[in-house]
Structure 1
Amino acid sequence: MRSPRNPVPAARLREFIETEAKALGFDAVAVTRPDAIAEAGPRLGAFVEAGRHGTMEWMAETLERRAHPNALWSEARSVIMLAMNYGPDENPLALLDQRDRAAISVYARNRDYHDIIKGRLKTLAQKFAARTGADVKVFVDTAPVMEKPLAASAGIGWQGKHTNLVSREFGSWLFLGSIFTVADLGADAAESDHCGSCRACIDICPTNAFPAPYQLDARRCISYLTIEHKGPIPHEFRAAMGNRIYGCDDCLAVCPWNKFAKVTREAKLAARDDLATPALAELLTLEDAAFREKFAGSPVKRIGRDRFIRNVLIAAGNSNEARLLPLVETLLVDPSPLVRGAAVWALSRLAGQDAFDRLRLAAKEEDDDVNAEWMHALEPA
């Protein structure tokens, strides 16, 4: 472990960090200590114990390291928390009324933020290490770091009733990253909770994913269902998904603190024109190669074409757009059982009884899950 050489006063180091961070495009920077979130570990343990993490086994596997930042690096004495604003130009809730269009979560409408932020974190960490001689380590989301509690303890914001970070300057639209260091930089004061009696984020959730304020059941969350969940979407949530095909911004977008948010984010975080309001008809035609090309560099690419088309078919089934029927019918013979099963559900929502019966009798399906979809579609509503 390299301790700082010729120690520089913490105040001067903080000024250096803030100047360099702003030059790199970060909108907020603050410092906390690795042991500042002692209560986060037990809360995470209770979340996993209750099974609310769903099929995200990695959360259980990394529980100990995630709950205690020093378990990742025992020598760390300070955690520099950084945030980047990705607030949208328009209210994303408006898109939910355009049922022939797909709603992609605001954060995923351009380049993968992991790539953008990690590169800049590394640049800042290298400059800090060169100036101080102190060891540093960089983390952004993919590592088992509880960024939101750390950011709250550093004073960047507070964890709202939707469990996401809320900032008085940027609302609910912040990407987070962290730099751990052996240098002692002191600590900023934690931000207090400013949610008050508001429960807008809880009440708007289409699938009732919040059992109580400040608690999330991921198994009911549309973001989890469309991104992390690998199998068929449970029937009870399909209608509630509407046209949300990747993630869900409802609880973020409805937060009253967004009215104070500054839309200052850079072009790389602005929505690509083709991902702002993509047509379901176009997305339903994507084969694997076209899917990979369209979403190159986007976080959407990580779920793969089959899960993506599954989500688009749910949106098609909710669209009331009969003109999508030919595209849905084509997907009844897709190589992926996951896609075929979702196509059956979309067909049952869009086709008349005669057309549905004709296609059902013509189907030569051997997959049990897909046959279960056909049988479910025959049950009375």
Structure 2
Amino acid sequence: MNSKFKPTLLTPSTTQISNEQTLVDPLSAASNHLPKAKIAANTVNNIAVNNTLTFATAVDVKQWIKAQAQALGFADCGFLSVHHPLFIQQTERLQQWLAKGYEGQLQFMHNNHQLRAHPEQLVEGAKTIISVRMDYLTQTPTPRAVTDYHYPNQGIIARYARGRDYHKTMRSRLKQLALRIEAMLPEWQHLNIGSEQDFIFRPFSDSAPIFERPIADAAGLGWTGKHTLLINKQAGSFFVLGELFMSLELPDDAPVKEHCGSCSACIDICPTQAIVAPYELNASACISYLTIEHDGVIDSKYRRAIGNRIFGCDDCQLICPWNRYANLASVDDFAPRHNLDSSSLLELWQWQEAEFMKKTEGSPLRRTGYVNFLRNIAIALGNADGSKEIITHLRTRLAIHSAMLDEHITWAIKEQQDKLESFEP
């Protein structure tokens, strides 16, 4: 996805977390050899095939695939060879990044460097990667305005995480795209780009050691911004990424020119100064990492900066001038559920574990776990407006869950007490 903690063209990026430890595609235990689609004559997955189309070159095939991708809800797609030199280059840069200790608890970033450098070994027989993007905004934010934090008693959840988890939708639609391609292979035999008998494919969405953003960058879906996220000139950066590895051999798309220029808005706005230099992120200081991936005590030096962000952070995207062109999602899965775009901190604080599990079913929020979710809310309550009611609610959870959570509750109570004392005559 276009998200945090996935290595970018220069350094690992940060907005949504990957499960790169998982190398088995959940679609199939033998996903490199998925069963052939049974498709009626002149149809592709029950969609009529236009037999009048002519495919003179592989470029014509690419244009057809791009049209099919858009019909399936992808905003754009690009093509890249599995043998592109970026994979070895990015593996070397990842190792340099890890040597600086920026990964925090993301120990899986140390694994599978051989597969990162040689993605053809990940899917045997694959020749081309189709990189796709899917827009996820459901409401266009005010350009260059970080406004969510004007409501300090409201819990702020990163925009990609307010609806359903996109990973299943991404993989399902990539599989549909592959089946449409497979059905057209007889029409393309004369181009010698791959045969129907030998066709293999495998969809990915944060499920393997893949350099998602560098692939999308090299395939022309955008350029890597100074915040290490991918930016598209026509669509900003509020989108997630996915990949389809396949045995069809198609020419690469060209990368696009970067357009960040001298702008440093994303670097300047970062609450914890986690963007330590242009294109270089200290993930262990990033609020997205701290509130999603980090397990246990959050260092007190970051707690005030976290504000009321209880799952992820969008500041570096909200401030980016290119997001004035951000597109709205064409997929319903991203629509906020359970009022997660407007819930008060006290409302969320009162969720019992059963309610948390029910309301986060099929949601990215499930990743952080219940106790860490409460930890994040405790920090946000400490940063909320001074209130005796908040102190009362904080105390109700002391000595119940864990010493780790108690530490954050105690800190939050002290922050609240200090605010109330400062307002006394």
| TM-score normalised to structure 1 length | 0.87
Q: Does 1:116 align with 2:169?
A: yes
Residue 11 of structure 1, aligned match among 59, 66, 69: 59
Change (3 A) 1:88 1:162: farther
Name 1:360's counterpart in structure 2.
none
Check if 1:295 corresponds to 2:345: no
The counterpart of 2:327, out of the listed 250, 262, 277, is 262
Partner residue of 1:374? none
- Does residue 331 (structure 1) correspond to residue 381 (structure 2)? The answer is no
- The match for 1:23 among 37, 62, 71 is 71
Structure 1 SS opposite 2:340: helix
Contact between 1:172 and 1:253, CA under 8 Å: does it hold in 2? no
* Code of the aligned partner of 2:276: P
Cα distance per residue 1:334-360 (max 9 Å; x no partner): 2222222211111111136999xxxxx
Alignment of 1:215-254 (within 5 A): 215-254=280-319
Choose between structure 1 and 2 for higher RCO, CA contacts under 8 A separated by at least 6 residues. Answer: 2
Gaps spanning 5+ residues in structure 1: where? 356-381
Query: Does the 8 Å CA contact 1:121/1:138 hold for their aligned counterparts?
Result: yes
Match of 1:343 in 2: 409
Distance 1:67 1:91, change over 3 A: farther
- Aligned mates of 1:156, 1:313 — CA distance in 2: 39
Superposed CA deviations along residues 257-294 of structure 1, whole A, max 9, x for unmatched, are: 11122225333223336011210011111121011112
What is the aligned-residue identity percentage?
A: 37
- Could you list the per-position Cα deviations for residues 110-162 of structure 1 after superposition, in whole angstroms to 9, with x for gaps in the alignment? 00011221111111122223333221111111211111000000000011000
Listed one character per residue, the Cα deviations across residues 8-51 of structure 1 (whole Å, up to 9, x for unaligned) are 84233213311221111000011111233242221111111221
Q: Which amino acid aligns with 2:100?
A: A
Normalised by the size of structure 2, how large is the TM-score? 0.79
Deviates more, 1:9-18 or 1:138-147: 9-18
Query: Counterpart in 2 of 1:309?
Result: 374
Could you list the runs of 4 or more consecutive aligned residues of structure 1 that deviate by over 3 angstroms after TM superposition? 352-355
Partner AA of 1:28 in structure 2: D
Any gaps of 5 or more consecutive residues in structure 2?
Answer: 1-31, 34-54, 186-195
Contact 1:168–1:261 (8 Å) recurs in 2:
no
Q: Residue 78 of structure 1: which of 96, 117, 128 is its match? A: 128
Change (3 A) 1:45 1:127: same
Query: How many Å apart are 1:100 and its aligned residue?
Result: 0.4
- Structure with bigger helix share is 1
- Say if 1:55 and 1:264 are closer, same or farther in 2 by CA, change over 3 A: closer
Q: Which residue identity does 1:316 align to in structure 2?
A: L
| CA–CA distance in structure 2, aligned partners of residues 232 and 308 of structure 1 | 12
Match in the other structure for 2:386: 321
Q: Which amino acid aligns with 2:178?
A: A
Map 1:107-256 onto structure 2 (within 5 A): 107-132=160-185, 133=196, 134-256=199-321
Q: 1:25 to 1:353 in 2, by over 3 A?
A: closer
For 1:41, the equivalent position in structure 2 comes to: 91
